[in-house]
Amino acid sequence: MILVTGGAGYIGSHCVRELKERNMDVVVYDNLVTGHIESVPSDVPFVKGDIFDVELLRETFRKYGVDSVIHFAAYSLVGESMVNPAKYYHNNVAGTLALLDAMIAENVKYLVFSSSAATYGDCGDGLITEESPQHPTSVYGQTKLMMEQFMQDYDKAYGLKYVALRYFNAAGAHKSGEIGEAHKPESHLIPIILQVANGTRDHIGIFGDDYPTPDGTCVRDYIHITDLADAHIRALDYLKHGGKSTYYNLGNGNGFSVKEVIDVTEKVTGRHIERTIEGRRPGDPATLVASSEKIKRELGWKPRYDSLESIVSSAWKWHSTHPHGYEK
C-alpha cells in the first residue's frame, strides 16, 4: 500500500489517478488546507490529517499496511516564502521531519519525494543537470534542499531509501478533464493565462521584462502533470527493486519564455490574452531549464506530452469546463 501525502493537491491527485489506473493500492493523506477532496477518487481511502501528527501517521501506516510513501505535502509559493519564511520552514521542513520519524518508527522504508528545481537557484543559461550547484534564491527552494539533506542522513542512519525528484514547472491536466490545477490564490503561469482566456481574470501580469533572456522575460521548462506522475511511480518501483537512494531532474529540456507561453495559449484557445509588465518578483531566477538525461537513462522515463501546445491544450480542457476550479 502506498501513502500519498498531499494526495488531494494538484500534483498529488494526478499521481493518485495514475496509480489507480495501474491497479496499485493507494491511500491519500491530506489536511485539505490547499487540497480538494473532490479530486480524490471515491474508491480511494482518505485520511484527513496533518504531517505533524506523528501518531495519526503511524496509525494510518498500520491500518492500511503502508510500505512506501510518495510525499507531496508542502507549501510551494516562492513569493510568499520570501515574506513569510516561518510558515515554510515550519510546514515543509519540520513537517517532513515528523513524516520521516513516523516512517522510521513503523519501518516504512521507501520514499519518493517531491523536490524542486528551486533548489538550484540561478544557474545561468545552460541546461541544469543533477550535479549543478544548489544555491537556492528563495526560502521555498531552501526548504526543499534541506529536506533532501535530511533524507541523505536518514538513509545513512536508518536505511530509509528515497528518490528526490527535482521538477521544473508542472502544468497541464488529466486527459479526462475531470481534475486539474486549482490554487487559491493561483500563482502558476499557465493557469493564470487560462483564467484570462476564460474570463475569470482581466489580464496577466508579467513579472519583469528586463532579464538576460531573448525577449527579457523569464524562461522556464514545463512538464506535463501526467509525465510527473509516471516518474514518481517509476521511482518507487526502482526503490522496491533494490535501487539506491538518488535524485533526478524532471523536465522537457526546452525552455519557453513567459511571452512565448502567452503566445501559445492565444493560439490554443483562440482568445486574446491581455498582458501588463510589472516589477520583478523576489527570488525568481532568469532561466531554469532541465537536463533529464539521467532519469531517461536509468529509469527509462520520457515525457509523453513533449510540446508546449499539448500541455496547454490539456490544461485548457480543464479550465474551460471548470472556470472556478472545484467550486460548483
Catalytic center residues: 140
CA–CA distance, 28 with 47 (Å, rounded to integer): 6
Cell 498531499 found at: 6
Cell numbers describing residue 28: 491519500
The 3-state DSSP class for residue 86 equals helix
164 neighbors 247 (Cβ within 8 angstroms): yes
Q: What is the sign, positive or negative, of the torsion defined by CA atoms of 202, 208, 210, 216?
A: negative
Q: Which of 221, 188, 79, 181 is nearest to 139 (CA)?
A: 79
64 neighbors 115 (Cβ within 8 angstroms): no
289 neighbors 221 (Cβ within 8 angstroms): yes
**Cis-peptide into 191, omega within 30 deg:** no
